[in-house]
Amino acid sequence: MSASREKKARQELNESGYVDPRKAREAEEKAKERRSTRIYTAVIVAFVLLGVVLFASGRIQASNEAKETARIGAESAVTIDGEDFSVNDVAYYYGSIYNTFANNGSSFGFDSSKSAREQQYTEGKTWHDYFLESALDYMKESVAVAHAAEAAGFDGAEQMDSAEQSNLSMVDLYASYSGATRAQYLTAMFGKYMTEEAFVRCVRQSYSDSLTYSAADLQAAYDEDPDAYCSVDIEYVSFTTGLSSDATDAEKSAAMEEAKAKAEAVLAAYAEGRSFEESAGDGTYTHLAHADRSVTSDMLTWAFAADRAEGDTTVAEQSSGYVAVLFHSRSRDDYHPVTVRHILVADEQTAADIYSQFNNTGDKTENEFATLAATKSTDSGTASNGGLVSNMRKGAYVQPFEDWCFDPGRQSGDTDIIKSEYGYHVMYFVETNPLPYWEYKATNTLKSSAVNDWYDAITDGVTAEQLDAIEYVG
């Protein structure tokens, strides 16, 4: 399970408290509408170990098939904006999307052990249809962006070369741990028609991020919506009804009244000099020093009100009960976000063995740690990305994890073992962002808005015509 705070404190902030798989799938569909914050579409390559998941398992060709495979891989599979793209090109995007879902798709109803062509995504559409449709959408975006950059005389060759080498280094690392060659790994990940040259050509389209903003621009974004860049410090005690979904209306009403009375009793005890924690009784006490408004709830709407003052209290309703709330303060997110890598395991001895392996062999580089994370971490949310947790926001992670990461004395390359409610984390500190969190967030918000407008303009009318060879993809 992730180090992210997926416990009661966060669940109680969320009115629903449950993410329905269908809604998650719909959210992923809508994500395509939220364009990349980059000038070149950044396709995330979900590197995995062969044997964990294979986009094209069993498809590594025998030597006597190599020529035919190369011919098919080079065949035109789609025409986008007047430009032909090969089976290899489409397979790169298809494979990237497939592998991402293969890592995390169980919650969406996708089973990587079965053919995507035989699994229903929605009525009338298979998972293969969805992967191909998504791949072509990404390709249309890439083509439109590349053509616009070319027309503007933009040249990011140096940066693209760096991205290319970084990706190929990861390919080599994962290939070696899978006991495969680079060519075999690329074939297994992205389809039997993929070649190194085709992979590199696709990666060259993923250079991004040339937008910059002045201090005045960032301040203007803050002034327009200050709540988006602030956090509140609150304590609360929550009382839930604990009723099942088949409870009668009368039972629900009575249980809600009981929860409300308990929350009001907490405020009464606080007024008499007892602390919120001491007054919790059979409720759940939580202190959030950096609660943001990312979750919608009556409690946070109250806490973020402009006239809120230190010491204010209230009782707020939530979907399954009531919560007593104490407000302490509100502040701009001036702390600096940090980036770390971690390896989550179940027991202390395993953590110690991994820690020793990393610190006593090799050069103790971030790349080596990322490789260990990919092969040993049980955190499904970060393992495939080398255990990376980027630009952490305070208040979003369990306390031991967060305390270590935000220690003011932390330096790049620091390692340690910490324990949390999820298990043992072998930690590697990457860096501290030079920007305060609010500036980092404002920069991303401005970029997202600018690229959305720009993207809409350049992609208007771009279409993809599928050719016969599209059948070889997937």
Laid out side by side, the sheet with 284-291 consists of 284-291, 230-240, 321-332, 313-318
In order of 84, 110, 141, 147, 460, the CA distances from 463 in angstroms are 12, 28, 10, 14, 9
Would you call 274 helix, strand, or coil by DSSP?
A: coil
- β-strands 321-332, 230-240 pairing: antiparallel
What is the end-to-end Cα distance of the chain in Å, rounded?
30
SS3 415: strand
Q: Classify residue 39 by its DSSP letter.
A: S
Residues 35/455, Cβ–Cβ less than 8 Å: yes
pLDDT of 29 above 50: no
Question: Which pLDDT score, from 0 to 100, does residue 282 have?
Answer: 94
Cβ atoms 446, 439 nearer than 8 A: no
- Whole-number pLDDT of residue 2: 46
Write the DSSP symbol of residue 472: G
Q: Does 176 have pLDDT greater than 50?
A: yes
CA distance 110 to 98: 10
Mean pLDDT confidence for 127-145: 85
Distance CA(112)–CA(93), nearest Å, equals 17
The burial of 127, by beta-carbon neighbours within 10 Å (0-12 exposed, 13-18 middle, 19 or more buried), is given as buried
The token duo for 413 is 């390359």
Which tokens sit at 341?
Answer: 């890598």
Residue 204 has pLDDT above 90, yes or no: no
Per-residue pLDDT band at 161 (split at 50, 70, 90):
low
pLDDT digits over 291-329, tens only? Answer: 998 878 899 999 999 999 999 999 999 988 999 999 999
Which of 123, 128, 126, 121 has the alpha carbon at shortest distance from 91? Answer: 128
CA 279, CA 294: separation in Å to the nearest integer? 28
Our CA dihedral for 407, 412, 415, 419, rounded to 10 degrees, sits at 40
pTM: 0.66
pLDDT score at 267 = 97
Cα dist from 414 to 298, 406, 430, whole Å: 40, 12, 8
* Residues 55 and 102 sit within 8 Å (Cβ to Cβ): yes
Buried residues in 1-19 as b, exposed as e (16+ CB within 10 A): ebbbbeeebbbbbeeeeee
